[in-house]
């Protein structure tokens, strides 16, 4: 595997980070999880926008222009001969001293990993997930802004540990007031009486790229979309529930805290949006191998 590491492409064995990097010492940095499908990088522009906005929010200067960053992602895929992949793009605060002052870190550190994707078993999509709500609350926006996809994932990891101890593959996290926020690595959607409902951003959650894509797809189909504040009551009584994320895509959720959702089967709107999502992955995003895909003669 070839990794992009701060200005060069190196073999995996040489892709190492300093023990003085504040990404490691303090979780100080931002990252993206991105997918490539059929030789295109899905929603790459949106992922880069979120990365740069997050960096701005934490006052981290990314030493690479956005256009160059796009090329870094594409070139990492080319060097690994990948057309379908999971991409991890990371910008850390860089090397500093042992104190937490970011001003002691003169330059941010950038790396990009492109790996062949391990998909969730198809069975999970056919049968749907059973998830639980956990006691760990989602970070409050006034303390650690959930909209920044920062390297500090402890909040989500606590929730994941709780879920795993109960044998659940995912956890629903509530905000401090008890309103539904999101899952540990996915956003949540409900379907009720034909409308698509998802928690509003101010509840405290990551503005998922898949979340936005699903809302766009729904609006194109004249489905009513509502971003609002709701409780577990709305989840338990929904007609359909699904989670969205770059890795999971759109995954039906058929049981929450032991209650069956609807008839306990993945619902029709979930299936429709999933099909539409897959169609979009064929045409969205910059091509990785320009010359091959643009050739119309063969």
Residues involved in catalysis:
149
Cβ nearer to ligand PMP, comparing 27 with 63 = 27
Cβ nearer to ligand PMP, comparing 182 with 284 = 182
Tell me if 27 contacts ligand PMP by CB under 6 A. no
Q: How far is CA 241 from CA 187, 189, 267, 278, in A?
A: 11, 6, 8, 19
Least CB distance to ligand PMP at residue 285 (A): 14
Least CB distance to ligand PMP at residue 107 (A): 26
Which of these ranges, 12-20, 55-63, 205-213, 280-288, lies near ligand PMP under the rule CB under 6 A?
205-213
Least CB distance to ligand PMP at residue 206 (A): 4
Residues 212-251 that bind ligand PMP (CB under 6 A): 244-246
Q: Which residues pair with 95 in a beta bridge?
A: 21
Cβ nearer to ligand PMP, comparing 105 with 214 = 214
Size of the site for ligand PMP (CB under 6 A): 14
Tell me if 74 contacts ligand PMP by CB under 6 A. no
Tell me if 155 contacts ligand PMP by CB under 6 A. no
Q: Phi, psi at residue 165, to the nearest 5°? A: -65, -25
Tell me if 186 contacts ligand PMP by CB under 6 A. yes
Q: Rounded CA gap, 38 and 40, in Å?
A: 6
Tell me if 185 contacts ligand PMP by CB under 6 A. yes
Q: Which residues contact 36 (CB under 8 A, 6 or more apart)?
A: 42, 77, 82, 83, 84, 85, 87, 114, 285, 288
Pairing of strands 129-133, 249-256: parallel
Of these, 21, 28, 170, 182, which contacts ligand PMP (CB under 6 A)?
182
Of these, 209, 254, 256, 261, which contacts ligand PMP (CB under 6 A)?
209
What residues line the site for ligand PMP (CB under 6 A)? 33, 156, 182, 185-187, 206, 208-211, 244-246
């Amino acid at each position: 595997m070839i990794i992009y590491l701060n200005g060069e492409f190196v073999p995996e064995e040489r892709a190492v980070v300093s023990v003085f990097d504040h990404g490691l010492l303090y979780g100080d940095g931002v990252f993206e999880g991105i997918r490539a499908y059929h030789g295109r990088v899905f929603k790459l522009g949106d992922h880069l926008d979120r990365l740069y906005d997050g960096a701005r929010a934490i006052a981290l200067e990314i030493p690479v222009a956005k256009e160059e960053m796009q090329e870094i992602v594409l070139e990492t895929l080319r060097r690994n001969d990948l057309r379908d992949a999971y991409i991890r793009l990371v910008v850390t605060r860089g090397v500093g001293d042992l104190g937490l002052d970011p001003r002691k870190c003169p330059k941010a550190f950038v790396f990009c990993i492109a790996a062949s994707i391990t998909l969730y078993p198809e069975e999970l999509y056919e049968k749907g997930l059973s998830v639980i709500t956990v006691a760990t609350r989602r970070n409050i926006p006034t303390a650690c802004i959930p909209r920044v996809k920062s390297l500090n994932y402890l909040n989500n990891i606590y929730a994941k540990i709780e879920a795993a101890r109960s044998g659940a593959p995912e956890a629903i996290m509530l905000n401090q007031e008890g309103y539904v926020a999101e899952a540990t690595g996915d956003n949540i959607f409900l379907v009720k009486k034909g409308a698509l409902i998802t928690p509003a951003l101010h509840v405290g959650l990551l503005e998922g790229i898949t979340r936005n894509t699903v809302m766009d797809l729904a609006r194109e189909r004249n489905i009513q979309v509502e971003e609002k504040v709701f409780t577990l009551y709305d989840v338990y009584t929904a007609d359909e529930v699904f989670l969205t994320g770059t890795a999971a895509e759109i995954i039906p959720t058929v049981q929450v805290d032991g209650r069956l959702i609807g008839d306990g089967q993945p619902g029709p709107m979930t299936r429709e949006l999933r099909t539409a999502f897959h169609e979009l992955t064929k045409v969205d995003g910059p091509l990785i191998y320009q010359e091959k895909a643009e050739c119309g003669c063969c």
